[in-house]
């Protein structure tokens, strides 16, 4: 179980996503998960070992590290990526439910004209409309909320996105105000800014996708309203023409059979 | 052998699970196993090395660490995840047993005979009880591990400082400092929360199964009041093939024609 499994989960939903959704998945796995796994984890690998305090007092280093880094960046990013990918599971479950219902109707013989066989049901791309549209939109909304929440948590916990090279610590059992030095602060700042930027890009893509879905629905509804306006006039004309045709044909028949009018 | 193997084993259960069961499996693999592997394991990676005691007495740090952490949180969670996912294997075993029985029945009586089970994966008869029992075991295991976690570590917290008193070879009451206590506390709460969500899902699934069964049996009673004897999904052990009935009853060729349109096999619900 690792990031590859999450990629399989989320990748499966990709088939039914919009184009913006597909771009989002690529950005997520290439620019965030992959960077986290191949680079960021190495940078933060020695974070507590090389967190050095100017004291020999046992326990002071531990306590100071815990005070300044209540949760490591790496763990926060891992949780952020898991939470941000999870709403896609809602869509996957909805699609699975839809296919289950379609398979059940197919077995009963109700939708034989729509699908050739059960495999066809599994292969067919499900359109984002009806209740699936609501599920998909909710999943995008939750993604945006989770991204924003984690970005705020980062800002709140670390007083910004910059890591200083020295921290002053005076917590028990440190005997006085002690200087503590973080390992690789500049490299960590660079990666923090990179991950935050990738997070912002993903958020913008999600907002764009949400706007696209809303516009699509509005456009579809206005098109339907226009078709309905034109259609009643057309239907009225047709029915009047049919009545006239019937009258003509009855009149003709009466003339032939000599029926009294 | 790693978590992927367990995931492959358990993916097969999905076919026979209810919707709650599928959600439960997703929660376990995404919010518990994945978080364990990519994040939590590393937090506890350096726990003994960075367990710092205010003493120069050799052996005191080791003894104090052992006193406060008889078993590491991370190992306890690994055990919990394995034990909690195992009852689902009972369901797979039961379905495999039914399929084997069906295969032997066909081998013995041939393809003309009707099947023992309409669908070996359908939760009727014995499989319903196996599934219910697996859910009950899951609940019990979750509660047991939560209780152990709560008892061994004085609640779900993780203090910054622990005091090691009256433990040889420590000369006096020694202050020991745990590495990353806040991060460990956060992950403990997260894992306890995920465990609580799984408990709720399992409980809902048990209620759903029982409710569904009650509704089905009431519906069947209503049908039986109108029609008489209704067929069951599992017809094990009393199925007799119609061609064997013919052979046993009357060997004379004259009566054969009238018996050709004879009966379906007798069925007894289980």
* pLDDT at residue A111 in the model: 60
Q: Please compute the mean of the pLDDT values over residues B93-100 and round it to a whole number.
A: 87
Report the DSSP beta bridge partners of residue A178: A169
pLDDT confidence of B142, banded at 50, 70, 90?
A: very high
The CA–CA distances, whole Å, from A34 to A44, A195, A208, A212, B86 equal: 15, 11, 24, 28, 32
Neighbouring CB atoms inside 10 A of A190's CB total: 13
Q: How many CB pairs under 8 A join A and B?
A: 100
* pLDDT at residue A118 in the model: 64
Name the closest residue on chain A to residue B178, using Cα atoms. Answer: A62
Is A58–B22 a contact, with Cβ atoms under 8 angstroms apart? no
Cα–Cα distance measured from residue B139 to residue B202, given in angstroms and rounded to the nearest whole number? 7
Q: Between B140 and A105, whose confidence is greater?
A: B140
Residue B134: pLDDT over 70: yes
DSSP, res B13: G
Whether the pTM exceeds 0.80: the reply is: no
Chain B residues with CB-CB distance to A49 below 8 A: 46
> Which of B135, B128, B185 lies closest to B160 in space, CA to CA?
B185
Cα–Cα distance measured from residue A152 to residue A160, given in angstroms and rounded to the nearest whole number? 9
* pLDDT at residue A152 in the model: 93
* DSSP string of A136-176, one letter each residue: HHHHHHHHHHHHHHHHHHHHHHHTSS---SEEEE--TT-SS
Task: Flag residues of chain A having pLDDT under 50.
Answer: 248-261
Neighbouring CB atoms inside 10 A of A31's CB total: 17
* pLDDT at residue A39 in the model: 85
| pLDDT more than 70, % of chain B | 79
Is B177–A58 a contact, with Cβ atoms under 8 angstroms apart? yes
Is A70–B37 a contact, with Cβ atoms under 8 angstroms apart? no
ipTM metric: 0.71
> Which of A156, A158, A5, A187 lies closest to A85 in space, CA to CA?
A5
Q: Which of B29, B54, B161 sits opposite A1 (nearest CB)?
A: B29
Cα–Cα distance measured from residue A94 to residue B23, given in angstroms and rounded to the nearest whole number? 12
Residues A85-128 have pLDDT tens digits of 988 888 888 888 888 888 888 777 766 665 666 666 666 777 77
Is A62–B26 a contact, with Cβ atoms under 8 angstroms apart? no
Interface of A with B in 176-205 (CB under 8 A): none
Q: Does A38 touch chain B (CB under 8 A)?
A: no
Residue B98: pLDDT over 50: yes
On the CB side of A258, CA atoms within 13 Å amount to 0
Chain A residues with CB-CB distance to B23 below 8 A: 93
Chain A residues with CB-CB distance to B182 below 8 A: 66, 70-71
* pLDDT at residue A120 in the model: 66
Residues B17-56 have pLDDT tens digits of 888 888 898 889 889 998 998 888 888 887 778 888 888 8
Q: Please compute the mean of the pLDDT values over residues B11-19 and round it to a whole number.
A: 81
Is B178–A62 a contact, with Cβ atoms under 8 angstroms apart? yes
Q: Please compute the mean of the pLDDT values over residues B67-81 and round it to a whole number.
A: 87
Q: How far is CA A173 from the centre of its chain?
A: 46
| pLDDT more than 90, % of chain A | 27
Residues A107-119 have pLDDT tens digits of 777 666 656 666 6
Sign of CA dihedral A69, A70, A75, A77: negative
Cα–Cα distance measured from residue A32 to residue A9, given in angstroms and rounded to the nearest whole number? 17
Give how far B258 is from chain A: nearest CA, Å. Answer: 35
Residue A254: asked if its preceding bond is cis (omega within 30°), the reply is no
């Amino acid at each position: 179980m690792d990031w590859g499994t999450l990629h399989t989960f989320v990748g499966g939903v990709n088939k039914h996503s919009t184009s913006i959704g597909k771009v989002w998945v690529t950005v997520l796995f290439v620019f965030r998960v992959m960077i986290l796994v191949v680079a960021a984890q190495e940078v933060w690998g020695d974070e507590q070992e090389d967190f050095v305090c100017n004291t020999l007092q046992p326990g002071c280093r531990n306590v100071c590290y815990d005070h300044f880094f209540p949760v490591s960046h790496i763990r926060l990013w891992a949780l952020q990526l898991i939470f941000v990918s999870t709403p896609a599971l809602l869509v996957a479950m909805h699609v699975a439910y839809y296919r289950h219902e379609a398979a059940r109707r197919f077995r009963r013989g109700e939708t034989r004209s729509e699908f050739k066989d059960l495999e066809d049901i599994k292969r067919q791309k499900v359109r984002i409309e009806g209740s699936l549209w609501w599920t998909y939109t909710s999943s995008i909304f939750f993604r945006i909320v989770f991204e924003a929440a984690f970005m705020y948590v980062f800002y709140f916990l670390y007083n910004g996105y910059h890591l200083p090279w020295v921290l002053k610590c005076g917590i028990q059992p440190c005997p006085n105000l002690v200087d503590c030095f973080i390992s690789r602060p500049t490299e960590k700042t660079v990666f923090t800014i990179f991950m935050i930027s990738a997070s912002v890009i993903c958020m913008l893509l999600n907002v764009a996708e949400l706007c696209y879905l809303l516009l699509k629905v509005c456009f579809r509804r206005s098109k339907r309203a226009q078709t309905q306006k034109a259609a009643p006039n057309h239907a009225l004309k047709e029915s009047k023409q049919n009545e006239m045709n019937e009258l003509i044909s009855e009149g003709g028949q009466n003339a032939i059979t000599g029926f009294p009018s | 052998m790693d978590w992927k193997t367990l995931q492959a084993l358990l993916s097969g259960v999905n076919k026979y699970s209810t919707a709650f069961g599928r959600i439960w499996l997703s929660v376990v693999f995404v919010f518990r196993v994945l978080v364990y592997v990519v994040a939590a394991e590393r937090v506890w990676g350096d726990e003994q090395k960075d367990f710092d005691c205010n003493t120069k007495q050799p052996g005191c740090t080791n003894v104090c660490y052992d006193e406060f952490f008889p078993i590491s949180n991370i190992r306890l969670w690994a055990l919990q995840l394995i034990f909690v996912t195992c009852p689902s294997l009972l369901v797979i075993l039961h379905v495999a047993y039914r399929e084997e029985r069906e295969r032997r029945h066909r081998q013995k009586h041939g393809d003309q005979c009707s099947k023992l089970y309409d669908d070996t994966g359908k939760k009727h008869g014995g499989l319903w009880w196996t599934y219910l029992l697996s859910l009950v075991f899951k609940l019990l295991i979750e509660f047991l591990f939560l209780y152990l976690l709560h008892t061994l570590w004085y609640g779900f917290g993780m203090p910054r400082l622990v005091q090691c008193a009256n433990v040889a070879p420590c000369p006096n009451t020694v202050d020991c400092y745990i590495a990353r206590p806040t991060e460990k506390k956060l992950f403990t709460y997260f894992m306890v929360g995920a465990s609580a969500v799984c408990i709720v899902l399992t409980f809902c699934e048990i209620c759903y199964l029982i409710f569904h069964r009650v509704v089905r049996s009431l519906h069947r009673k209503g049908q039986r009041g109108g029609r008489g004897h209704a067929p069951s999904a599992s017809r094990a052990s009393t199925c007799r093939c119609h061609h064997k009935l013919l052979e046993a009853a009357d060997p004379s060729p004259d009566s054969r024609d009238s018996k050709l349109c004879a009966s379906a096999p007798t069925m007894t619900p289980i």
